[in-house]
C-alpha cells in the first residue's frame, strides 16, 4: 500500500502538496498556502488513519460527517473509511499525517486503547509538534513510534468531549460563511449583520446556522478570530493586546474571555505551553 496516495483523491491533488515524506507505515505531507496554488475542494475516504494539523485557519473542514472550522493549534483525527475533506478551495496551510491501520491498531492495543476510536479534535502539545518537525527534517523512522503514541494518547483523552454528528447543508448559510471568512477580523461585524446578509431573520439565521455548522454563529465567529490569534502568537514581537485587535476583538479583555471560554486557558498560558520552544511552527514562516 502506498500511503502517499491517501493525502488526496488523485495525483493532481497530491502533487500540490509542497512536501511529502512516506515510509511503509507513516506518511507526512504539508500544503503551503504561500505557494499560491489552491487545493480544490474534495471529499474522500481511505483505509488508513489520518491526522490533520491546520497551520492557518481551514475555513470549512469536513470531519467525521460534520462541517467545522479547522482551527490552528488543534489536530483533527480521522478513523479509517470515514469521509472527510474540504468544502471550499484550500488557501490555508496544513499538515496531513497518514498512518497504516494495522500498525496504529497494534500500538493502540499496547497502550490499552484497543476498543476506542478517534472522534474529537485535540490541542497539540509542543513535544508532538517537535517530533513531527524532526521527522520532516531528518526522515528518521525511529521517531515514528513516539509520534504515533502521542497521537493516540492525546486523541483518546476522556475530556475530548466535542460532539460530532451529521451537518445539514443550507446555501444561504454557506454564502454567509464566505462573507464571514472575508470579514471576521472586522471588530464591528455582528451576527445581526450576518443574518441580514443571508436574508434571514436573526432568530431563523441562528437556527439554521447551528444545524449547518453544529455551532452557534457567535461561537463560530470567535473560533475564526481565535484561530487567527493563535497564528499571530507565533510572532513573538506582537503583544497579546496587539493580537487581540488584529484578530477582530475590540479590546484585550473580550479576547481573553473568549479565549478562556473556548480554548480552556488564558492566552498567555497557551502561548507559553503550546508555542514556546516548538520548532515545528516555523515551517510556515
pLDDT digits (tens, 9 = 90+) for 147-186: 999 999 999 886 444 433 333 345 667 778 778 888 999 9
Same domain, 185 and 240: yes
Count of domains observed in the chain = 2
Quick check: is 166 in a domain? no
Burial of 249 (0-12, 13-18, 19+ CB in 10 A): buried
Last residue in a domain, options 113, 128, 155:
155
Same domain, 125 and 45: yes
pLDDT of residue 29: 92
Same domain, 228 and 121: no
Q: Collect all residues with Cβ–Cβ distance below 8 Å to 66 and sequence separation of at least 6.
A: 164, 165, 166, 167, 214
Nearest to 120 by CA among 160, 69, 150, 68: 160
Quick check: is 255 in a domain? yes
- Does position 276 have pLDDT exceeding 80, yes or no? no
Reported as a pLDDT band with limits 50, 70 and 90, residue 16 is: confident
What is the CATH classification number for the domain harbouring 269? 1.10.10.60
Same domain, 124 and 73: yes
pLDDT of residue 1: 59
| 121-134 confidence digits (pLDDT tens) | 888 988 998 999 99
Query: Hunting for cell 460563511 — which residue is that?
Result: 177
Quick check: is 164 in a domain? no
Last residue in a domain, options 131, 155, 179:
155
Same domain, 88 and 202: no
| DSSP summary character for residue 25 | S
pLDDT of residue 284: 43
* Residue 129 backbone zone (phi > 0: left; psi -120 to 50: alpha; other: beta): alpha
Range of the domain at 257: 171-213+215-284
Quick check: is 161 in a domain? no
Average pLDDT for 8-28: 86
H helix intervals, the chain: 11-14, 101-110, 126-138, 144-155, 171-183, 191-198, 202-213, 217-232, 240-246, 252-263, 267-270
Q: Collect all residues with Cβ–Cβ distance below 8 Å to 170 and sequence separation of at least 6.
A: 208, 211, 212
Same domain, 142 and 35: yes
Lowest-confidence pick of 7-16, 162-171, 196-205, 254-263: 162-171
Same domain, 182 and 90: no
pLDDT of residue 60: 66
Same domain, 7 and 126: yes
Last residue in a domain, options 106, 128, 155:
155
Quick check: is 181 in a domain? yes
Same domain, 12 and 150: yes
Same domain, 146 and 176: no
What is the CATH classification number for the domain harbouring 73? 2.60.120.10
Rg (CA), the chain: 19
Say whether 244 sits in a helix, a strand or coil. helix
| Residue 165, number of CB atoms within 10 A of its CB | 8
Average pLDDT for 5-19: 82
pLDDT of residue 190: 92
Same domain, 273 and 191: yes
Backbone angles phi, psi at 221, to 5 degrees: -60, -45
Query: Hunting for cell 472527510 — which residue is that?
Result: 84
Reported as a pLDDT band with limits 50, 70 and 90, residue 64 is: low
H-run or E-run covering 54: strand 49-54
CB 184 within 8 A of CB 220: no
Average pLDDT for 98-110: 97
pLDDT of residue 161: 41
Amino acid at each position: 500500500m502506498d500511503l502517499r496516495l491517501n493525502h488526496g483523491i488523485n495525483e493532481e491533488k497530491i502533487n500540490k502538496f509542497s512536501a511529502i515524506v512516506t515510509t511503509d507505515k507513516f506518511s507526512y505531507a504539508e500544503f503551503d498556502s504561500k505557494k499560491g496554488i489552491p487545493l480544490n475542494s474534495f471529499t474522500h475516504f481511505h483505509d488508513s488513519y489520518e491526522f490533520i494539523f491546520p497551520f492557518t485557519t481551514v475555513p470549512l473542514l469536513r470531519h467525521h460527517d460534520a462541517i467545522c472550522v479547522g482551527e490552528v493549534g488543534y489536530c483533527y483525527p480521522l478513523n479509517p473509511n470515514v469521509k472527510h475533506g474540504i468544502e471550499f478551495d484550500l488557501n490555508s496551510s496544513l499538515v496531513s499525517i497518514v498512518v497504516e491501520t494495522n500498525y496504529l491498531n497494534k500500538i493502540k492495543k499496547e497502550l490499552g486503547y484497543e476498543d476506542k476510536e478517534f472522534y474529537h479534535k485535540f490541542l497539540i502539545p509542543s513535544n508532538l509538534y517537535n517530533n513531527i518537525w524532526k521527522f520532516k527534517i531528518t526522515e528518521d523512522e525511529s521517531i515514528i513510534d513516539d509520534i504515533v503514541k502521542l497521537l493516540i494518547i492525546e486523541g483518546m483523552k476522556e475530556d475530548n468531549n466535542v460532539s460530532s454528528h451529521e451537518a445539514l447543508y443550507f446555501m444561504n448559510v454557506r454564502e454567509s460563511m464566505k462573507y464571514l471568512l472575508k470579514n471576521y477580523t472586522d471588530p464591528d461585524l455582528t451576527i445581526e449583520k450576518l443574518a441580514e446578509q443571508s436574508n434571514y431573520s436573526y432568530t431563523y439565521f441562528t437556527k439554521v446556522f447551528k444545524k449547518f455548522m453544529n455551532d452557534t454563529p457567535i461561537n463560530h465567529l470567535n473560533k475564526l478570530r481565535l484561530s487567527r490569534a493563535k497564528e499571530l502568537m507565533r510572532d513573538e514581537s506582537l503583544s497579546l493586546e496587539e493580537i487581540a485587535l488584529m484578530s477582530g476583538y475590540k479590546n484585550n479583555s473580550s479576547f481573553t474571555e473568549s479565549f478562556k471560554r473556548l480554548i480552556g486557558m488564558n492566552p498567555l498560558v497557551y502561548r507559553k505551553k503550546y508555542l514556546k520552544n516548538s520548532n515545528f511552527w516555523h515551517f510556515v514562516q
